[in-house]
Amino acid sequence: MKRIVSLAALATALVTTPAMAQDAKTPQQQADEFVVSTEAKLAKAGVEAAQASWVYSTYINQDTEAMTARAGAAYNSLVVKSAIEAAGHAKTPGLSYDTARKLSRLRTAIVLPAPTKPGAADEVATIAARLEGIYGKGQGTLRGQPISGSDIEAEMGSNRNPEELKEMWLSWHDNVGKPMKADYAKLVGLGNEGAKELGYSDMGALWRSNYDMSPEEFAAQTEKLWLEVKPLYDSLHTYVRGKLNAKYGDQVQPKTGPIRADLLGNMWAQEWGNIYDLVAPPGSGDVGFDVTELLKAKGYDDQKMVKAGEGFFSSLGFEPLPKTFWERSQFVKPRDREVVCHASAWNIDNVDDLRIKMCIKVNGDDFVTAHHELGHNYYQRAYNKQPFLYLDGANDGFHEAIGDAIALSMTPEYLVQIGLLDRDKVPSADKDTGLLLRQAMDKVAFLPFGLLVDRYRWQLFSGQSKDAQQSWTDLRLKYQGIVPPGPRGADAFDAGAKYHIPGMVPYTRYFLARILQFQFYEAACKQAGWKGPLHRCSFYGNKDVGKNLNAMLEMGASKPWPDALQAFTGSREMSGKAMMAYFAPLKKWLDKQNKGMKSGW
């Protein structure tokens, strides 16, 4: 997870040496000293405020909220001041590699830069808080009665009444998105002013500058990745549309054209796994075992599930987690207080104070999540000897992809190896279609949404988009092939009904993670000498894989991401080919099912 925490005293601690002393030093030396001083201050602030953030997340009350809010505000002031100074030093010719790289990272660390004009920082904070409040308190309706956002998410995953799905979708987008529209436009304007002070044309250019290439090159790179995997998405879209037509009829879901957004089991149509029961292949939809039932039958509890995750990494040769991990982590929701249950991984002191924060339930989803979160922890520990500004993944997609690659290796064979599944219960090859389709309904279905969320914002930030609502609808149609379930007025702001939009959380990282996880997984399977179908590979227990993986992880953000990628995969290019190889049997099956049906929209 990203920590944005600090102390108020440190916000004003960035002092330069007196002018007379500065004059005696070259601009390159001044830049070097600025980086050293700033990095030390940020490192100290990060540890102290991470502690405040942890307390708030695991013990929510008025006092801890105030403490973490003060820490966050102070840290933001510190980072903004640092970034503006870094922008000045970055113009200096002849800088060393590390100084130039760290100056760049200081400038791109800010997602929502407030301009330096009086009152702007307070205005940005006020608007951002108001948007968060609108989202957090947002409700929709079901059968005319109010329903919370979390309850809508659950209901849309199981409800099969098209009129009720439509009501929930429209009411949520109207009640949450519309009230944000004017404030969001103001926030974009202020953020763009701040980005220009840092030397970028707008916030989109700032966000895209964090990938060791120009903003234009990054946009082209991600579009190229999408085109590599688009044929797989198109086949899935065609198949699912046909199944929805068979379920609901032409009046609800036509045989051709786009899919109605509310029918896909998810508020944003970003993942479709909740409607797997509607699309499961006859005879092979049941994969033959249920991980939740296996865990309960073997007496697993929360800590035993996490111990299994630790065991996976230990089997690759990684050192066990420190004793403090087991003492300080939050594994289950406490009975006596409110906590943030959203799973996250922490390294409080940036050395070895590793923790996870979860509210674990004994089920298959949380078993996977525990493995995934430990992927973050082992990555954090691998690069803990790097300087503070390099304590991160090679790019923001890497961190998520590591845990996801581990999760891909949790095959039936892995379950046999750890004693959860009996070997005679391993699904036969005729179940592979169901296994792959279930995976694709989340991982493949997500791809266009993962791409378009930021493309939408890049258009808004740059001024290319003149209609915030129409641009969202157009991009959803272009990339996902979906349409709203009803007319959208000029005052609509459907994008605001997705948390990451008002929250100003960059989203392309999730698209990259979906691509990279398969690239990492394929590389690990090749190193393990796997010869069978890629989707059945598990590299559990392979020390060579662990050694090679660690070589990439320990680099942190010290080198451009192509260097890190090459260290493990041998390639310097992100590629969708591994994902296509993983799902190749499913693609062949889908195309056979889709014969005679019109693809595209």
Known catalytic residues are 373, 500
- Tell me if residue 281 falls in helix, strand or coil: coil
- Tell me if residue 345 falls in helix, strand or coil: strand
DSSP letters spanning 177-194: IGGGHHHHHHHHHHHHHH
Helices (H), 258-343: 276-279, 291-297, 302-315, 323-328
Rounded Cα gap, residues 460 and 469, in angstroms: 11
DSSP letters spanning 454-495: HHHHHHHHHT--S-HHHHHHHHIIIII-EE-SS---TT--GG
Q: How many CB atoms lie within 10 A of CB 300?
A: 20
Helices (H), 249-363: 276-279, 291-297, 302-315, 323-328
Q: Which two tokens stand for residue 372?
A: 């995934």
- Strands 354-357 and 344-347, bridge-based pairing: antiparallel
First to last CA, the chain: 37
The percent of the chain in helix, strand and coil, each rounded to the nearest 5, is: 60, 5, 35
Q: Residue 239 contacts by C-beta under 8 Å, 6 or more apart in sequence?
A: 279, 590, 593, 594
Q: Which two tokens stand for residue 540?
A: 């559990």
Rounded Cα gap, residues 570 and 573, in angstroms: 9
- Tell me if residue 354 falls in helix, strand or coil: strand
∠ at Cα 215 (214, 221), nearest 5°? 85
Look at residues 54, 50, 61 and name the one whose alpha carbon lies nearest to residue 336.
61
